[in-house]
Amino acid sequence: MTLESKNTSSTKKKKSNNFDIYLASSSPRRFEILKNLKVNFELLKCDFNEDNFSEEDPQNFVLKNTQQKCLTAQAFRQKSNLTNKPVLTADTIVSMDGKIFGKPADKDHAISMLLELSGRKHSVMTCICLGEMDSEKNSNVKMAFDVITTEVTFSNLTANECAKYWATGEPKDKAGAYGIQGYGALFVDSIKGSHSNVVGLPIQETCKILKQKNISYWLNL
C-alpha cells in the first residue's frame, strides 16, 4: 500500500489536523467531485485488489468490495499512525444480465465489453462507504453506506468506433470500458438516475452521509 497525502482544504479552518475525512481512492474523478463539493479531505491512496469478480449478485458484490476497501484503508491508517479520521471509500461496477463488467485488461477486452453493451440497457452501481474507527476500541469500524443504481442505455456501436474510442486512452481505467464524463458520452443514448453515480461518486447520496456525520461541504460550510 502507498499513501499520497494531499490536503484539499478550500477554506481556512481553525481545526487541528486541518481536514475532516480521508478519501481512499485512486480515482481522479472522485477526487475532483469531493474537491468541487468543498469537502476538507486528504487523499489516502491504497492498493486494492478489485479483479476478483465472483458469480454473486452485483449489488452484494459492490457492497462487500467497498466495505472491504474501508476496512483495509482504516487498518493502513492505523498501522501508519495517521490521524484517526473517517475514511470514505467507493466502488463502481457495470452490470448487465447479472454479469459484472470491470476495467478492461486490454484493447480487445475493452472492444468486446463495449460491443456487448451496444444497443442495450445496463446498470451502473456505486457503493459509497464512510467508515469511522472507534477511538476507544481501535478494531471497531462503524460504517455508513449506500448503493446507488443508474440505468444506462447505449446506442448501437461498431467495432471500429470502439477501437477509435480505445485509442483515446479513456476506457483503460473505467468499469465497463467507458466514461460518461468524456468521449464515452457519445455512446450513451439515455440514462435513468444519477449522472454523477456513473462518473463514480453519487453527489446527492454522498452529501447525505456527510451531513449525517456532521462533515462539512459547500452547502453547510
Q: Rounded to the nearest 5 degrees, what angle is found at the Cα of 33, between the Cα atoms of 71 and 25?
A: 30
Residue 98 domain boundaries: 16-220
Q: Is residue 11 part of a domain?
A: no
User: How many domains are there within the chain?
Assistant: 1
Alpha carbon distance 204, 167 (integer Å): 33
pLDDT tens per residue across all 221 residues of the chain? 344 445 554 434 444 578 999 999 999 999 999 999 999 999 998 877 765 666 789 999 999 999 999 999 999 999 999 999 999 999 999 999 999 998 999 999 999 999 999 999 999 999 999 999 987 666 789 999 999 999 999 999 999 999 999 999 999 989 999 999 999 999 999 999 999 999 999 999 999 999 999 999 999 88
Helix (H, G, I), strand (E, B) or coil at 216: coil
Q: Which of 91, 97, 106, 108 is catalytic?
A: 91
The overall pTM is greater than 0.95: no
Q: Is residue 210 part of a domain?
A: yes
Check if 173 is active-site: no
DSSP string, 94-137: EEETTEEE---SSHHHHHHHHHHHTTSEEEEEEEEEEEEE-SSS
Q: Is residue 6 part of a domain?
A: no
Q: Is residue 2 part of a domain?
A: no
Report the pLDDT value the prediction gives residue 137, as an integer from 0 to 100. 63
Report the pLDDT value the prediction gives residue 29, as an integer from 0 to 100. 94
Q: Is residue 140 part of a domain?
A: yes
Report the pLDDT value the prediction gives residue 56, as an integer from 0 to 100. 82
Report the pLDDT value the prediction gives residue 214, as an integer from 0 to 100. 95
Q: Is residue 187 part of a domain?
A: yes
Tell me, what CATH number does 35's domain have?
Answer: 3.90.950.10
Q: Is residue 129 part of a domain?
A: yes
Q: Is residue 9 part of a domain?
A: no
